[in-house]
């Protein structure tokens, strides 16, 4: 929750001065008052950071891989958002991704922030777009976004990240699993982690075989995040990819998509709030479907008049 | 939404208590960050500030609480963070008093009910925001 007592001007000044404590407060604003955060962040210049999404099933090693990526990025400023699920019953959450990356808690070039998914179903948190903007406004070179442990169809990271890394572990299943729509489709890069497992090579050749059926060329990296084996090559490839994306316009295209999804998410959130509030105020009594719908549309229009 | 961090400073590896509290606070509807065992005061203080938590719980069973807790409190002060800190573990009564004099909001020993902790944590947050 955290009450933010600082005024907008103070927050903007603090962000410009790269004050870590102010970034912490701005990220809380993103979570708790996203529209105020959007307003504030629109006043700030943003660096074009490489937004790297790390996704995959629970326990494949996303957090450990993130930590080993940070080991390789000592010369860069890096923001990290890690998302863990909220309870559908109590809305509480246990955020445990930091455990694997606490060696970077005191790294001056790294800023790690844990978000709860707060009802979002696509593997991310409702304020993920605002969080990315905050890190870009802070001047981060790279931003790593780690999703919750996903199943086959939580693919929202595709609308946020410039590069989506799908992490697999060698005990993942046969090639039909890899041909399914959803998660396997959104990868820009595959990482097979826990490469010390002999089955990692088998998975790689199966994945290769499946990928050759498609049109897109997607690189596969083998890593052992615990020993950092293969991580350097993978991180270098991420960098090269981002440089290329900047040159050949694919980045501009991805960012355009991201902007639309940000607006969509923000509008939905405002509409949700408006409907919830109207219900509380009792404005919705005795109205039929069409009356209600036009009431909410009018209220939203009124706000942006 | 209340955001809590549960941390274990120092070298003891017994984190059952920390996990029980983290789980209980989660079930009480809070967002709980658990940072794992064997953390330095610096790691804990920086993480608490970066995560902008409302309250910080330290779990210590090693007996080093009189060294570790003041260190965390000092570092938080140094960073300009006004975060209420509570402590759980095996803490002798006279030490518990001293810790409270230093600014710790509460000390919980073995057998404390988790409902009581959750209730009081909510109060700490309300008071610190008042």
* pLDDT tens, residue by residue, A241-292: 999 999 999 999 999 999 999 999 999 999 888 888 887 777 777 888 999 8
Q: pLDDT tens per residue, chain A (305 residues)?
A: 445 778 999 999 999 999 999 999 999 999 999 999 999 999 999 999 999 999 999 999 999 999 999 999 999 999 999 999 999 999 999 999 999 999 999 999 999 999 999 988 899 999 999 999 999 999 999 999 999 999 888 899 999 999 999 999 998 666 667 777 788 899 999 999 999 999 999 999 999 998 998 888 999 999 999 999 999 999 999 999 999 999 999 999 999 999 999 999 999 999 888 888 887 777 777 888 999 899 889 989 988 88
Sign of the dihedral defined by the CA atoms of residues B110, B114, B120, B126, in that order = positive
Query: Residues of A numbered 23-62 whose beta carbons fall under 8 angstroms of chain B's beta carbons: which are they?
Result: 24-25, 27-28, 32
Q: In this complex, how many residue pairs, one in chain A and one in chain B, have their CB atoms less than 8 Å apart?
A: 93
To the nearest whole Å, the CA of B34 is away from the closest chain A CA by 5
Q: Is there a contact between B31 and A105 if contact means CB atoms under 8 Å apart? A: no
Indicate the domain borders of chain B. 3-129
To the nearest whole Å, the CA of A147 is away from the closest chain B CA by 16
End-to-end CA separation in angstroms for chain B: 16
Mutate to test the interface with A, among B51, B126, B127, B129 (most CBs of A within 10 A): B51
Burial of A71 (0-12, 13-18, 19+ CB in 10 A): middle
To the nearest whole Å, the CA of A148 is away from the closest chain B CA by 14
Tell whether A98 is within 8 A of chain B (Cβ): yes
Confidence class of residue B90 from pLDDT cuts 50, 70 and 90? very high
B57-95: string of b/e by CB count within 10 Å (b at 16+)? Answer: bbbbbbeebeebbbbbbebbeeeebebbbbbbbebeeeb
Measuring CA to CA, which residue among B99, B91, B112, B87 is closest to residue B9?
A: B87
CA distances from A121 to A124, A157, A162, A247, B74 (A): 7, 11, 20, 34, 40
Q: Is there a contact between A95 and B33 if contact means CB atoms under 8 Å apart? A: yes
Structural domains of chain A ordered from first start: 1-44 (no CATH), 47-247 (3.40.50.300), 257-303 (no CATH)
Sheet holding B31-34, edge to edge: A93-95, B31-34, B3-7, B55-60, B85-89, B106-108
Q: Is there a contact between A91 and B47 if contact means CB atoms under 8 Å apart? A: no
**Could you tell me which residue, B14 or A144, shows the higher pLDDT?**
A144
Predicted ipTM > 0.90: yes
Q: What is the pLDDT of residue A1?
A: 46
Name the fold adopted by B3-129: Rossmann fold (3.40.50)
Q: Is there a contact between B51 and A90 if contact means CB atoms under 8 Å apart? A: no
**Cβ atoms of residues B33 and A98 within 8 Å:** yes
Chain centroid, CA B93 distance in Å? 17
Tell whether A7 is within 8 A of chain B (Cβ): no
Q: What is the spatial distance between Cα B109 and Cα A31, in angstroms, rounded to a whole number?
A: 34
| One-character DSSP codes across B53-113 | -SEEEEEE-SS-HHHHHHHHHHHHHHTT----EEEEES--HHHHHHHHHHT-SEEE-TT--
């Amino acid at each position: 929750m955290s009450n933010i007592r600082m005024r907008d001007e103070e927050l903007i000044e603090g962000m410009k001065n790269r004050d870590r404590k102010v970034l912490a407060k701005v990220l809380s604003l993103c979570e708790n008052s996203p529209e105020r955060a959007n307003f504030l962040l629109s006043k700030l210049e943003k660096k074009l950071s490489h937004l790297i999404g790390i996704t995959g099933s629970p326990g494949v090693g996303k957090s450990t891989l993130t930590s080993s990526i940070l080991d390789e990025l000592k010369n860069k400023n890096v923001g990290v958002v890690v998302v863990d699920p909220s309870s559908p019953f109590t809305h509480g959450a246990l955020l445990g991704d930091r455990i694997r990356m606490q060696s970077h808690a005191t790294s001056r070039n790294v800023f790690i922030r844990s978000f709860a998914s707060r009802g979002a179903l696509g593997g991310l948190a409702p304020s993920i777009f605002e969080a990315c903007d905050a890190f870009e406004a802070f001047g981060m070179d790279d931003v790593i976004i780690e999703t919750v442990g996903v199943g086959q169809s939580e693919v929202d990271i595709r609308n946020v990240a410039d590069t989506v890394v799908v992490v697999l572990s060698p005990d993942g299943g046969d090639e039909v699993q890899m041909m399914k729509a959803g998660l396997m489709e959104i990868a820009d890069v595959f990482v097979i982690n826990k490469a010390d497992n002999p089955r990692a090579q088998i998975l790689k050749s199966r994945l290769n075989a499946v990928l050759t059926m498609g049109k897109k060329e997607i690189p596969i990296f083998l890593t052992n995040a615990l020993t950092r084996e293969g991580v350097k090559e993978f991180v270098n490839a991420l960098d090269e990819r981002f440089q290329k994306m900047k040159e050949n316009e694919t980045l501009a295209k991805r960012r355009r998509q991201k902007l639309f999804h940000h607006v969509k998410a923000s509008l939905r959130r405002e509409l949700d709030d408006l409907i919830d509030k109207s219900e509380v105020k009792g404005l919705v009594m005795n109205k039929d479907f069409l009356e209600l719908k036009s009431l909410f549309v009018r209220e939203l229009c009124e706000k942006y008049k | 939404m209340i955001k809590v961090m549960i941390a274990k400073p120092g070298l003891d590896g017994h984190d059952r208590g920390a996990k029980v509290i983290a789980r209980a606070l989660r079930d009480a509807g809070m967002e709980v960050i658990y940072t794992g065992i064997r953390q330095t005061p610096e790691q804990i203080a920086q993480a608490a500030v970066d995560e902008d938590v409302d309250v910080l719980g330290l779990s210590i069973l090693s007996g080093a609480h009189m060294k570790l807790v003041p260190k965390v409190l000092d570092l938080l002060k140094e960073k300009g963070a006004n975060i209420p800190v509570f402590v759980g573990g095996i803490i002798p009564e006279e030490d518990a008093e001293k810790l409270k004099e230093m600014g710790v909001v509460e000390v919980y020993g073995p057998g404390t009910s988790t409902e009581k902790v959750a209730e009081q944590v909510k109060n700490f947050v309300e008071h610190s925001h008042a």
